[in-house]
């Protein structure tokens, strides 16, 4: 079975992010994304965190899933703000997606 490449997974997560962000994030966060994403924005694939098992209802299979972060970087190229984390399947035949939106709380 053919697996998605890391670039395909990052692109897929970013497309999903763009489609859903306006409905899922606070208006102030949308302004930040609009003003700052071109210079500081990042979308990065990484190994999934084990806490996704609560969403999956089973332990996270590191061979099956990839976690992708969407956010803004600081001056040291570390994530300063994460707007969403995605859990995406590596296999091209699977399309189950899990998303955690990190909505900024109103003061």
Going by the DSSP 8-state scheme, the letter that residue 25 receives in this structure is: S
All structural domains of the chain with their residue ranges: 6-101
Half-sphere exposure of 37 (CA within 13 A, CB side): 15
Give this prediction's pTM.
0.92
At 85, give phi and psi (nearest 5°): -120, 135
- In the structure, what pLDDT confidence band is assigned to residue 48 with cuts at 50, 70 and 90? very high
Looking at residues 93-106, what average pLDDT do you find?
89
- Residues 43 and 72: their CA atoms lie apart, in Å, by 9
Query: Cβ atoms within 10 A of the Cβ of 15, count?
Result: 10
CA distances from 57 to 1, 54, 61, 63, 89 (A): 24, 5, 12, 17, 15
For every residue of 37-90, DSSP letters joined together read HHHHEEEEEEPPPGGGHHHHTS---TTTEEEEEEEEE-TTSSEEEEEEEEEEES
Q: What pLDDT, in 10s, does the model give residues 50-76?
A: 999 999 999 999 999 999 999 999 999
Which class is 6-101 in CATH?
A: alpha beta
Across all residues in the chain, what is the average pLDDT?
A: 94
pLDDT score of 103: 87
pLDDT value at 1 more than 60: yes
pLDDT of residue 105: 63
CA–CA separation, 58 and 85 (whole Å) = 19
């Amino acid at each position: 079975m053919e697996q998605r490449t890391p670039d395909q997974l990052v692109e897929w997560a970013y497309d999903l992010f763009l489609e859903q962000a306006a409905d899922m994030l606070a208006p102030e966060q949308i302004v930040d994304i609009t003003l700052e994403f071109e210079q500081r924005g990042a979308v990065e694939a990484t190994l999934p965190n084990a806490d996704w098992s609560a969403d999956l209802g089973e332990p996270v299979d590191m061979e099956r899933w990839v976690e992708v972060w969407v956010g803004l970087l600081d001056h040291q190229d570390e994530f300063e703000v994460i707007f969403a984390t995605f859990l995406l399947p590596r296999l091209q035949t699977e399309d189950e997606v899990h998303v955690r939106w990190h909505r900024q709380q109103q003061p």
